[in-house]
Structure 1
Amino acid sequence: MEHATKDAVEEPQPRPQEPGQRGLIHGYADIGEIRLHYVEAGTGPLVVLLHGFPEFWYGWRNQIEPLAAAGFRVVAPDMRGYNLSSRPAGVAAYGADAVADDIRGLIRELGAESAIVVGHDWGGTVAWTMAMNHPEVVDRLAILDAAHPRKLQEGLPHPRQLRRSWYFFFFAAPGLPERVVRADHYRFFRRFLRDARPEYTPDEIARYVEAWSQPGATTGMINYYRFSVRQSQKKAKAALKPIAAPTLVIWGLQDRYLGQSLAEPHSKDVPNLVGVERLPASHWVHHDQAEQVNQLLVGFFGSSGGAK
């Protein structure tokens, strides 16, 4: 299986199309055997942005500068398996618990005790898990189009949601998904992004293709799904804990992957839910409605008292 050790990851080169080129800092943090690449901008309370599938740190290009300008230290990592971060071998390395441990370690490596955590899609799953497993490092939690694990468990068996989530089970197969997604210049992955409005530009798509083309990245990205499908659902349900952090959910009304019934978590799981904001957007709500999402996030962060 393709993989890269942390020592095999090379420093990235600046790119003219990256947002805020003069203000962006690329960095690495070694968390145990995992090396995480991240992009940083701004000063102030720490905000960590966790990307989803099939994105990488660049998925937050419309948020990094505005949040930094609003007075926050913004850090957007590539999660393990993606782009310039380590791609460990084996499906077992890609459980949400392990990835949440990475981000907890990153927060500490950045010199902070805690952070405001924002997650989209798989990054949202990791953010939910962080808030359950490591509540001491999560000051506030913002979730974009990512169902709480209990809601996803409850919703996935329904036929309509099963049709929406068919790729979960396609990705669970060994070997075949990698061959399919690499064909025709990663057409399979590109199709996931096609409903974004405005459409992703050719330059933006080129950045994604370059990230997907990193050695071992395709397998690493798909392994998140393999682990999710193969894990014991009974054990996963038993591990759920109430989330203490104030939580905001932002959801696209035209999300074609996750139904609207999955947006609002149960009150027993998220007793401090601030609200569920539904916007006219696709699954890529942070792209489609970037300005409104940024306003919602800054407003939500502003009453947090800041990360320590």
Structure 2
Amino acid sequence: MSARTVDPATEAFLAHRNLLFTVAYEMLGSAVDAEDVLQETWLRWVGVDLDTVLDQRAYLVRITTRQALSRLRTLRRRKESYVGPWLPEPLLTAPDVAEDVELADSVSMAMLLVLETLTPTERAVFVLREVFDLDYDEIAAAVGKNPATVRQIAHRARAHVAARRPREVVSVTETRGAIEAFRRAVETGDLQHLLDILAPEVVLLADGGGVVPAGQGPIVGAERVAEVLGRVAAVASLHPAPVNGYPALIVRINGEIDAVMTVRVDGGLIAGLYAVRNPEKLSYLRREAVLQRRARGLSAPNDATGTSTGR
């Protein structure tokens, strides 16, 4: 369909698609589920009489939020029976996302893990208020509460997140430096250098979902983590890529994506490592990586650029 024949409903939806996807992803921690929510949003949006809509952006955010809330409650029930540590689904992000420090921090793996500790409504209110700066009346319409109640929820969620989020927002440059030093140490087998860049009480979480081998719990301590990473290095190659707003590593075995590893840097040292191996959680990222390689004319694995998120 040419741009000239795009109907008003489609045009409005496409104009706000990145925003809607980011809202859904930050609420759900899953790109696959966020895409499903966007599909549900679209199906409801095409049935709306646009002449009755005063603010198309707000209306679309409202539909997306309600669909994401419904799905989030279902996901929470699934997580109760999840095998091993649960991590958010990694998302390839465009390099320009890192330039927006607040947006990059809001989709970081560390922040998404903090958001997991909120109730569904608290999470929705926090994301819409703190990340997208919606006013309380808009949020109230989206979550089905009155503005006074939303203000209370926002205050409670803000305090909860502040008590659990990383102490400081680490720059992309610092994270990139830590990732590169980490990659060199792992690939060269330089154990001492690896120990030097790992915090003494570093924590490694690996999410296999019971589908592929992964630890059943956190691995704590620099020496234990270094031992595990040494085994990974023997069979895998590490490729830098922008994931969840920050530099990360794509772990490939025989050229295929086996895991995505993000890090949390604290005080110049790597304090947290998050490795997602569950194939279901890598399906969206694998598809995006293939599409990007084709678009760039690459036939072999390389560092990846990312999809975009937006406000």
Q: Calculate the TM-score normalised by the size of structure 1.
A: 0.27
Larger radius of gyration: 2
Q: Calculate the TM-score normalised by the size of structure 2.
A: 0.27
